[in-house]
Amino acid sequence: MNAAHGELKHDAAAYALGALEPAEHAAFEAHLAMCAECAAEVKQLRLSAGALAHAVPQVSPPPALRAKILGQVTATPDVPRPASGVVVRDKRGVPAWLQIAAMLVIGAGVFLYAQRMQARVSNLEAQLARAQAQVASADRLIADARTVAFRAQAAMGVFAAPDVARIDLAGQPVAVSARARALWSRQRGMVFTVANLPALPPGRVYQVWVVTAQAPVSAGLLTPDASGGGSVYFETPVDILPPVAVAVTLEPAGGVPAPTGERYLIGTPSPL
Ligand SMILES: [Zn+2]
């Protein structure tokens, strides 16, 4: 009996699950009648199997799959089977629950990695937007610098023009202390420098006029700095008649085609 128990006790689980071959089944059943230990083990295994059956969905595996799983359980001689309970292992001896747990851990890891990558992409997109804004800002600075350089070059051209004329402007009763000087060349335009103009009222702008025998021609608009001063380069039409005067009036913002406002500065050409 003791020798038979040592041989047969490992069949208890397969017997409880009904997975023994007919000859083995008969041999174990004969032993069971005489062995209280195996009888107790089978009883416990059947209780466990019954509880398991209630704990999982009532879906019977196909007979072929059931046989395959049980065959793996019973055909792994190098892995000692536990005294009670059945642990399903694959060929590498890794329990199924551990494989599932590993898949869950890997899944969680992939999810966290994806989240981190998403955050990284968002960060890079923000950096790219900032870099693009900086490039746009630099482009504007370059354009501004080119405009300033062009105007400076044009102003230098006026100073050096062989036909340059100088017009000094005097402040009128509304701006007695205001002063201005225009340097004008028919070919190269006009450099207009002003000082002490009163601060502009809201919605108003100063407009500079080249007054010819025919009509006043707008040279352009002038917004002085905080001290009432500034220097501006104006292009003037090359076919303009010789100026008899240069004047500054106060006009609505945006300027007007012909002067409508009060005169702030006026001057007539004088030899250099
Ligand atoms: Zn036994």
The phi and psi torsions of 179 (rounded to 5 degrees) equal: -140, 150
- What's 30's DSSP letter? H
Average pLDDT, the chain: 83
Distance 20 CA to ligand 1 centre (A): 16
Q: What is the pLDDT of residues 164-192, one digit of tens each?
A: 889 999 999 999 999 999 999 988 899 99
Residue 88 main-chain phi, psi, to 5 deg: -80, 125
> Using one digit for the tens of pLDDT, what is the confidence trace for 38-89?
999 888 887 776 665 555 444 455 566 666 655 665 555 554 555 555 555 5
Output the pTM of the full model.
0.50
Q: Using the 8-state DSSP alphabet, how is residue 62 labeled?
A: P
Kind and range of the H or E element at 211?
strand 204-212
Band (268; pLDDT cuts 50, 70, 90): very high
Cβ neighbours, 10 Å, residue 218: 17
2 or 29, which is more confident?
29
- Residue 39 alpha carbon to ligand 1 centre in Å: 7
What is the whole-number distance in angstroms between the Cα of residue 36 and the centre of ligand 1? 7
